[in-house]
Structure 1
Amino acid sequence: MSREKLVLAYSGGLDTSVAIRWLKDQGYEVVALTIDLGENKDLDTVQQRALQVGAVAAYVVDGKVPFLRDFVWPSLQTGALYEKEYPLATALGRPLIAAMLVQIARREGAQGIAHGCTGKGNDQVRFDIATAALAPELKVVAPVREWGMSRDDEIEYARQHGIPVPASLESPYSVDANLWGRSIEAGVLEDPWAEPPAEVYEWTVDPAQAPEAPAYVELSFQDGLPVALDGRRTNAVELVETLNRIGGEHGVGRIDHLENRLVGIKSREIYEAPAAMLLLQAHQALEDITLPKDVARFKDVVAQQWAQMVYDGLWFSPLREALYAFVAHTQRHVSGEVRLKLYKGHASVAGRKAPEQLYRMELATYGRGDEFDQAAAAGFIKLFGMGVRTASEVQGKLSSLDLEKLLPADLKRLTP
């Protein structure tokens, strides 16, 4: 009787390294799939480690370009931040990983896929639902949900079975990284009162230790997508890597987020996302000058819905596809330049311009060249306030506010 084969999303870390041995002991053949999304790992070592632990085959795939092109850029155009803080770095990587797992499973003739997610996290939902959407015939196995080991137990299990992993009882952090951001959890970070120790940060310097002189970066966009940095056209991967470096040198992109997980618990996460935060800020500044008011306000609603769906693992869903049709339409005029100023952990917009900007100096100015018809304002206000005026005349007092209490009792009145 042949053994069932699973394709495991293999990071090379503690959970998935233990998972290979554990799945093997459960009777599975394990094929390891490692996808490079820009975390700067030694992929040759990771691939060899998978075979050393017991995988029957190991793949390494460069996924950086499709990650940015097909997942990150649409979310950038949307302006999505989960709970107004998290740029969804890990969440955006999971549907791509799931899609590649499905493809390798079909190539290998596997009966299912496997991942190293816990029963507490969001990633389990993202992998399971994405697989159900793309290949409902495949089974999903999640060893960490089944084996009942704590993180300390896993470290001891790895030691007993000679599994080399970059984790120890002294350094228990769980880290995930890709081009769009780095997330850190576990250890002392589980105490929301504790300030994150300096050791958890790798991409960003302490803002207090950042350079005394500010730095400026200029980003050029075409149809809502970044195409050039400081006037030089560049590919997506190079642009993001450069912004991660520059932003990190100035302490930009640190996020301490107490977030609401899909499973109903609150979790404290530390994120480093210099490029993501800079690009989102620049993109928003360009939309501010190019989108009509009603479109921009409705797009904020779409961004919130998009962020929730991506966070909840619903990338492959009809609603997300429909939302992107709206977003793509809004981006037709979002082309131009934005200049950002970076200084000691903070980034601010120093300038923005666009060929099709809706900002017009001759309408906004209070100086010479003012073309605004101020005489028309009185009639506009009369019509705009007609409903309030009518209600006041017919129904009387429209506010519970006691106007008499607004003025001080000892109000002084002077006369000439």
Structure 2
Amino acid sequence: MSESVKKVVLAYSGGLDTSVILRWLQDTYNCEVVTFTADLGQGEDVEPAREKAKMLGIKEVYVEDLREEFVRDYVFPMFRANALYEGCYLLGTSIARPLISKRQIEIAAETGADAVSHGATGKGNDQVRFELSYYALQPDIKIIAPWREWDLTSRTKLIEFAEQHQIPIAKDKRGEAPFSVDANLLHSSSEGKVLEDPWDAPEEYVFQRTVSPEQAPDKATSIEIDFEHGDPVAIDGERLSPASLLTKLNELGGANGIGRLDMVENRFVGMKNRGVYETPGGTIMHHAHRAMESLTLDRGMAHLKDEMMPRYAELIYNGFWFSPEREMMQQAIDFSQRNVTGTVRMKLYKGNVTCTGRKAERSLYSEDIVTFEEGSGTYDHKDAAGFIKLNALRLRLNKMLQG
């Protein structure tokens, strides 16, 4: 221990790890602990965390429903960019960390805390995401990362510590979990243990949010999604709040086996990792948004966005949500969405998402120009000859110089 700490705000789930961390912080730093539990739509009741924190002697306990803020201010802006890390990952875990970090820093200010703490391990990306966000929001904040300090290096040691300090452990939590899970309203992530060999296919019990495509209905589901300025606002004409809309898309996608992903990704800390993800609603939203953009986005703008996207996605994956370059790119992305307003019709069928129709008042698509029949005078076929010759000039010169 290199620094004295008076009060620390702990990102607290109520599970074994963070309950041990809570007591370890008190013993190691002789400090007061404030717990913060965020409901991001992980699908579990967060109220037991409040009762457990109080039982462990915590006086200042924060339990907050952040689902609307999470989708509105984090998920939707990211989806305007069509962000995919390494071509396929919709960044469900990555995008949750900045919001948790922001509230921890705010709570630290409210309670007079001089430190924050998290339960991320020293091997993963989350430690980076949390701490980059902390420093970006509060440059002089003290950060305590127990997994990089203590000697409780196994689940057995954690359980022994809990028993020694009368920390209750549910019976179903005493055994070794077959894999670790992280979840929020956007996705669920499964990794480790039985999933560590990338050659072994994940068993069906790994999947929590989606039926297998083979077991999905034999009849397709058709839905319409309305967009305004790049964000989905309604399903089949029913206007919904951001969190309610994503919840509905999750139900529709999960029932149709949509959104499963098994990938080996490159972690920011340097190693490769195999993850099994389920993002049913997000997958539908991603494809629908691209379909809406195909009608309303200028070619140059669309192609520039696609060039920016891998860099934008990498920034989020690596934990730089609050970086000036991400904010700069977000302004450009949001500018591009001014006319991305209209309706997309999607067909959901056995793991597949297909656009079957799109319409927009400010569509850049013109049937009159694109038709094979005689259209308006806006496009003259004869103009194409000069266009082609100018574009061929360097090719012709290059061939002539070669002899």
Q: Smaller-chain TM-score range? A: over 0.9
Whether 1:154 aligns to 2:161 is: no
| RMSD over aligned Cα atoms | 1.8
**Residue of structure 2 equivalent to 1:50:** 53
**Residue of structure 1 equivalent to 2:251:** 245
Q: Return the letter of the residue paired with 2:26.
A: K
Q: Return the letter of the residue paired with 1:98.
A: S
Whether 1:28 aligns to 2:31 is: yes
- Name the TM-score, length of structure 1 as normaliser: 0.90
- For 2:397, which of 386, 390, 393 is the aligned residue? 390
How far the C-alpha of 1:291 sits from its partner, in A, is 1.4
How far the C-alpha of 1:187 sits from its partner, in A, is 1.8
Whether 1:173 aligns to 2:175 is: no
**Residue of structure 2 equivalent to 1:230:** 236
| CA 1:3–1:311: 2 relative to 1, 3 Å | closer
**Residue of structure 2 equivalent to 1:364:** 370
| CA 1:392–1:24: 2 relative to 1, 3 Å | same
Whether 1:164 aligns to 2:166 is: no
> What pairs with 1:185-334 in structure 2 (closer than 5 Å)?
185-334=191-340
Instruction: Output one character per residue of 1:103-154: Cα deviation in whole Å (capped at 9) or x when no partner.
Output: 1111111110000000111111111111111112220001122223124543
Tell me the number of residue pairs that the alignment of Structure 1 and Structure 2 aligns: 395
8 Å CA contact retained: 1:31, 1:56? yes
Percent identity, please: 45
How far the C-alpha of 1:24 sits from its partner, in A, is 2.0
Cα distance in 1, alignment partners of residues 193 and 163 from structure 2: 19
Q: Return the letter of the residue paired with 2:73.
A: D
Answer with 228-237 or 164-173: which moved more. Answer: 164-173
Cα distance in 2, alignment partners of residues 389 and 10 from structure 1: 67
8 Å CA contact retained: 1:20, 1:55? no
Cα distance in 1, alignment partners of residues 282 and 132 from structure 2: 26
How far the C-alpha of 1:53 sits from its partner, in A, is 3.8
Unaligned runs of 5+ in 1: 397-416
- Name the TM-score, length of structure 2 as normaliser: 0.93
**Residue of structure 2 equivalent to 1:5:** 7
**Residue of structure 2 equivalent to 1:106:** 109
Instruction: Output one character per residue of 1:134-188: Cα deviation in whole Å (capped at 9) or x when no partner.
Output: 1122200011222231245434544554432563434242211111111111220
Q: Return the letter of the residue paired with 1:376.
A: D
| CA 1:90–1:100: 2 relative to 1, 3 Å | same
- For 1:85, which of 73, 83, 88 is the aligned residue? 88
How far the C-alpha of 1:367 sits from its partner, in A, is 3.9
Cα distance in 1, alignment partners of residues 126 and 115 from structure 2: 17
8 Å CA contact retained: 1:152, 1:169? no
8 Å CA contact retained: 2:258, 2:352? yes
Cα distance in 2, alignment partners of residues 82 and 54 from structure 1: 41
Unaligned runs of 5+ in 2: none
Cα distance in 1, alignment partners of residues 159 and 361 from structure 2: 57
Cα distance in 1, alignment partners of residues 218 and 376 from structure 2: 40
Whether 1:380 aligns to 2:382 is: no
8 Å CA contact retained: 1:253, 1:274? yes
**Residue of structure 2 equivalent to 1:408:** none
Cα distance in 1, alignment partners of residues 240 and 384 from structure 2: 47
The structure with the larger Rg is 1
**Residue of structure 2 equivalent to 1:126:** 129
